[in-house]
Amino acid sequence: MVKRMPRFIPAVVAVCALAMNGCAVRGPFVRVAAESLVLSPGPAAPFLSLAHSPGTLWAVFADPAATTLNVVELTDGPHLPSAAPTPEIIDKIDIVAPLSPSFGEHLLSVGGDRTAVLYLDRETDTKNVLKLATRPLGERQWNLEVLEPAGDPLTLDSDAAGGFDAAWSSGLLSYRSAGGQPVVGPAPLPFKSWGRGSPDGTRGFTAYDTLSSQLFSLRWTGSGYSTQIVPGGSPVQSCLRSSTGRLSVLSWDARARRLLLHQQGTRDGAFSTATVTVCDGTGTATLLPGESDSTFLILFDEVRSLGAGRTISQVSLIAPGSVLGARGSRYRKAILASGDSRINGFAAVRAGDALYVLVSQGDVKLLRVPLSR
């Protein structure tokens, strides 16, 4: 059942923030009317994915009760459908409780005429297997391939021929080309990831390395990885590369309680850092394109205190007011989902004049937020 969900926070709540280009985030918060569709009645693992291709949306999430990795395919239209299709099982990815700490870890990519999911499967108490599942669009049968050595998925990209290249971390940085051919290059790069990798949209990605306690921007060059440190980055992060090649990275500083935007001044140049907002309890942050290379949609989960020991968990959106249907270009804030139960995780994708957000909070729901142009 689709519900329209007006989300509103009273004007007396202040936002202490500076966003990009020195533009203050101004209250009162913007009220948005989001449609909501429940895809699964129970919560999912913290790893969720959304992908879009013309006319279609894919949502991938892991069901802890059934220990399966599931996909839901939906038609992209002016409204969400009245009812969700039954989730399809990609694979059973764990044995019995207690579940692996990496349960549900995966990446989703859609390109050309194929869909791919890179994921971890716990086959025994002591053995994880990294698998790549692919299938042609419109078909139901998945082709499964084991990648070695097993490790945490970092990025998954499609090429024009419908192949997928992948990178993952097992203490070393591993790479497989889209053609599936062995890669001949220099000695493997020591790397142990923490948190999710984030694709930059141009076949590169950012990932946090626990061996050096640094956030890296990485790109396979054909003979090895080019690497660049993102100063002040954290494991909770998301990146986006502009049409001119400049990298922007959103990250959450838990100690300072701040969501930060790191931006390159020139291609491959030094980063500047600005505070986007003050927030607590953030486990997922997402940076999406706005109406130009210099504007963004910023999504993050946060935990707010209501006093007397009560808290509320919510998914928040910061964007130019005009995109949210308000006046002006100053950045404004909207609340997309909120409730007493903790946000397990979320994923978001922009598709033209709509923002889609997949949220795990008690259940798994898909939100559709209309955007103004």
Domain of 102, CATH number, reads: 2.130.10.10
Residue ranges in the chain whose pLDDT is less than 70: 1-28, 181-187, 267-268
> Can you give the residue range of the structural domain that contains 166?
2-370
Rounded Cα distance, 174 and 181, in Å: 13
In contact, 232 and 213? CB cutoff 8 Å:
no
Closest of 144, 152, 154, 156 to residue 100, by C-alpha: 152
Domain count, the chain: 1
In contact, 153 and 166? CB cutoff 8 Å:
yes
Is the preceding peptide bond at 98 cis, omega within 30 degrees of 0? yes
Rounded Cα distance, 61 and 108, in Å: 10
Structure tokens at 236: 């909770």
Rounded Cα distance, 36 and 113, in Å: 28
> What is the pLDDT, as a whole number, of residue 41?
96
> What is the pLDDT, as a whole number, of residue 349?
97
What Rg, from alpha-carbon coordinates, does the chain have? 20
> What is the pLDDT, as a whole number, of residue 267?
67
Q: In what order do the strands lie in the sheet with 189-191?
A: 152-158, 164-169, 171-176, 189-191
324 DSSP assignment:
G
Global pTM reads 0.91
In contact, 147 and 124? CB cutoff 8 Å:
no
Helix or strand or coil: residue 254?
Answer: coil
Give the residue ranges of DSSP H helices in 52-148.
none
Rounded Cα distance, 99 and 93, in Å: 10
Rounded Cα distance, 108 and 115, in Å: 8
pLDDT digits (tens, 9 = 90+) for 154-190: 999 988 777 899 999 989 999 988 877 656 556 678 9
Structure tokens at 49: 């994915």
Nearest 5°: the CA angle 87, 33, 307 is 95
Phi-psi region of 90 (alpha: psi -120 to 50; beta: other; left: phi over 0): alpha
